[in-house]
Chains A and B, each alone.
With several copies, the nearest count.
Chain A
Amino acid sequence: MGSVGAKDVPELLDAHGKRIDGRGLHDLRPLKIEAGVLQRATGSAFVEWGENKVMAAVYGPREVHPRHMQQNTKAVVQCRYNMASFSVDERKRPGLDRRSQEISKVIGEALESVLFVEEFPKTSIGIYIEVLQANAGTRCAGLVAASVALADAGIPMSDLVPAVAVGKIAGKLALDLRKEEDNYGESDVPMALVPRSGRLVLLQMEGHMTRDELKTAMDMGVKGCEKIYEIQKAALRNRYSLGGNGGGEAQ
């Protein structure tokens, strides 16, 4: 969000209202989802979303380690969002920084909101997200991938969870920000929807928005999520159809 002292701010919207990559304000970047891409994981999914590449794997339900974290009445959801050192322009030190830890927490809580954790007491469900190539929106891409991986693992859920960010660029609300829009835009609202209930299980925000802008932003996000939801479902159908080799895809 508008870092102090930054130079060379690019023009985020052209005279025709088109964005840097030619999209309109309500357009998603191309999205491709493939389920069942890893051999060792219980379930897995790969998401290519614009220039993001994100892999998710699910393990479990299984024994809890360390043991003292075990819960008698429900499964423990352990979520880890991690960025590969080479996924960003400037090499990132390997390991979870504070940002990654916060994102791990909010993604884990979002997904636990649709899991029937009471059905698997004393176990753990591990959700692991690796960002291989990043271009803004990786927490949403990770959530989208992890949700499909959970379904691929056969873990009962009340719904799939699509997610997308809405931001404000050059004074306008725009769906699904890419890197330059995120860096130089005015605000960013990532959100994750449970389509069947219409409720948000992830919602963060940074920047400046009026109450009414926020309302519109959530409307745009919900519509975006509904499109993503269809692609998630298609990926799972492809996984289980015999001829399926592709996955779900947008555009």
Chain B
Amino acid sequence: MTNEVTTEILATHVLDLAKAGKRLDGRGLDELRPVRITPGYVTSADGSALVELGDTKVLCGVKLEPGTPFPDTPNAGVLTTNAEIVPLSSPEYEPGPPSIQSIELSRVVDRAIRAAEAIDLAKLCVTPGEKCWTCFVDLHVLDDSGNLTDAALLAAMSALKNAKLPGERFEIGPTVPLEVNHLPIETTFVRIGDALIVDPTCEEEDTCQGRLTIATDEAGNVVAMQKSMVGAFSPHDVIELVDRALVHGDRLRELINTTK
């Protein structure tokens, strides 16, 4: 399906550039694409945000509905993260059940939200064991121009910060803003030869030798990591990337916090 010759020529070119410290789009190796966040993009959701990371576009809609707590966590609400990589977003889409890419995307975003304890699920419990809020974080990928993960978590956290608990609609108390306690940010790197570059485009992802996503919180902790794709990182690489992720994380947290 993919044109293998083109892929190989592109891979060689991307690699040659990386050796010279350069990238296809002229960015520096540790430079993010421009980020634009539009909270409240969709009014039918209880919270929403459109995130544009260069040409990559991810829309997140949050819906809050009454539900039942899981039997093993009777005092907690339920958080469900789902990602749809729809065929509109990329020529590489394949029909069928949710792709493994969309499953990994939703799980990595979900893991960061949970590990950072971004939402206090105990506060989403209404009646222990009986009634709680279910918080659906639905990610809709509109343009997959690379690094969906970082854009998706930015969209999810912006949408959660934008969300209201619709108590009045469901006659469960007043409608109040959803509390967001922590703000995890994911930063993704790929290896191209010996270069470790941040925020890869899809061309860079297609030709990389390993990808590493690092989620940090505002206290400087690492809360989640995911190495994926074929390739490898030394422990030394990982620590270097953690240091870089902490810097990017702080900058993006600042951006979310100042976007209205």
Contacts and interface: CB of A to CB of B under 8 A. Distances in A.
Chains A and B share a contact (CB less than 8 Å): yes
Contacts of A197: 232, 234
Interface of A: 1, 3-6, 38-41, 44, 51, 53, 55-57, 59, 62-63, 65, 68, 71-73, 80, 82, 84-91, 94, 98-99, 101-102, 104-106, 109, 112-113, 126, 128-130, 132-135, 187, 189, 194, 197-211, 214-215, 218-219, 222
B154 interface: no
A112 B43 CA distance: 33
B26 interface: no
Interface stretch (B99-107, B171-179, B192-200, B250-258): B99-107
Given A3-B73, A102-B103, A91 B136 contact: yes
B228 A126 contact: no
Interface residues of B, number: 76
A218 B57 contact: no
B153 interface: no
Contacts of A99: 107
B143 interface: yes
Interface of B: 1, 4, 8, 41-45, 48, 55, 57, 59, 61-63, 65, 69, 72-76, 82, 84, 86-91, 94-95, 100, 103-104, 106-107, 111, 114-115, 121-122, 125, 136, 138, 140, 142-145, 202, 210, 212, 217, 220-235, 237-239, 242-243, 246
A102 B121 CA distance: 24
A38 B142 contact: yes
Contact of B82 (A72, A85, A102, A132): A85
A133 B75 contact: no
B5 to A, nearest CB: 10
A145 to B, nearest CB: 11
B239 A207 contact: no
Nearest to B142: A55
Which of B62, B224, B232, B237 has the most A CB atoms < 10 Å from its CB? Answer: B232
B232 A113 contact: yes
Given A85-B136, A99-B107, A130-B88, 5 more contacts: A38-B89, A90-B65, A106-B228, A109-B231, A222-B235
